[in-house]
Amino acid sequence: MDGLRAIAVIAVIINHLHDHWLPSGHLGVDIFFVISGYVITLSLVNRTDQKLGSFLSSFYGRRVKRLMPALLVCVLLTSLAVILLAPQPQDSLSTGKMAMVGLANIYLYNIGTNYIGELAQKNAFLQTWSLGVEEQFYFIFPLLFWIFLRNRSRLKLVWTALFISTLSLLSFALYLYRIRSDYWSAFYLLPSRFWELGLGVVSFLLLRTEIQEQQASYWQGWPKKWLAPSLQMILVIGLVAVLFADPAKAGVNTPLAAGLTALIIAAGSLRIENKTLLENRGFLWIGLISYSLYLWHWSVLYVARMLQVDINHWTAIGPYSHHAFNGVIQLLSHRKSVAIRHLGKYASVDNTDGTSIGVDGNHCSHNSPRVSSLLVSRSAGQLAAQQNLDGETKRSVSYRNDRSA
């Protein structure tokens, strides 16, 4: 999963640096939601024979160890910066407190926070809204999962998949309704976000259990050598393209991003032997630290704004981000052609432990073409013009006028 996590966190960071550089980069959070649904189900599926108390305590213990130390350090240090630098620190400090108990998203919705508005830039813990959504999901889902899959059988598996699918469809319908009637409730709150996490859950249930074993015979020989990796790369190209789409079209972009993420996971689950860009050493490393990157990038940007640092001058990636992502697409296409023509040069990737989607940290490609060679310089005048765009005003007006589309 780390390759997908890398795409998600890079997209979010670029979007937060400047929304014109990657207009729909905030959809990286939606990618994270689908991944989380898949990974959480993976962590639970072999433990349903435990008693309920042990099942829940072990799950929540793992989640606390995974999430809380980094969050606690981030909240404490960023709160200190808020106290020292912010003229009106109350909203930020309150959001930080709510983040520690998994309620930041509800608090931000209740105080009317516009995620893309100017006031949102002054909240040091805006990024923690997505952690609230996930933590609320963690509070509900394990109990439902244990009830449905206790003493797991194929019939219970089918019923669980149908139940989660039904809840997800209802949640998706609520999302489509609320983006027209109450956009920020659709954005911040779990009932209209459950479908993305549920999509990850159902993907796991269908792909990593007895149902997958029945289909495995169809993916022997040449299909698993190049067809599945090629399909996965095409889907990644599509996902990257969605990140450049008009952010006002939330009713289209969000389902596309979530659906493509689920399909990428599915393509990666077919015992892929050949490598893709998602297994590049750099992508794997970024994916492994994606949680910390997600937490801290917003705090760094917040402090920079409070100190009136011109972000456009101390980052070089932003103005050329569209070239970088186009380079990724070309690199993916290159990988696809190499996979077809030179199968023998690809090392086999062990994917039998059920924890990866064609990503194995011990089997990383070392000969990827340099994406940097694809970056094209702009003239100084073009760069200055882009840096002077009034992104907040343009994008906020676009959301208000077109979010019902």
Give 43-72 pLDDT, tens digit per residue.
Answer: 998 888 889 999 999 999 999 999 999 999
Tell me the C-alpha distance between 300 and 50, whole Å: 43
Structure confidence at residue 228 (pLDDT): 72
Distances (CA, A) of 71 to 7, 74, 120, 125: 22, 5, 20, 11
d(CA 299, CA 312): 17
b/e 334-364 (16+ beta carbons within 10 angstroms → b): ebbebbeeeeeebeebebeeeebbbbbeebb
Report, as ranges of residue numbers, the positions in the chain whose pLDDT lies below 50: 316-321, 324-325, 328-329, 331-405
Three-state secondary structure call for residue 365 = strand
pLDDT of res. 190: 98
Q: According to the model, what pLDDT value does residue 94 have?
A: 97
Q: How many domains does the chain have?
A: 1
CB 243, CB 325: distance < 8 Å: yes
- Tell me the CB-side half-sphere exposure of residue 292, using CA atoms within 13 A: 9
Q: What is the pLDDT of residue 218?
A: 54
Question: What string of DSSP letters covers 199-233?
Answer: HHHHHHHHHSSHHHHHHGGGG-SHIIIIIHHHHHH
What residue numbers bound the domain in which 220 lies? 2-402
Backbone angle region of 63, left / alpha / beta, with phi > 0 → left and psi within -120 to 50 → alpha: alpha
- What pLDDT was estimated at residue 116? 80
pLDDT (tens digit, 9 = 90+) per residue, 112-157? 888 887 777 899 999 999 999 999 999 999 999 998 887 667 778 8
């209209």: which residue's tokens?
Answer: 192
Q: Is 280 helix (H, G, I), strand (E, B) or coil?
A: strand
Q: Are 218 and 267 in contact (CB under 8 A)?
A: no
pLDDT of residue 215: 53
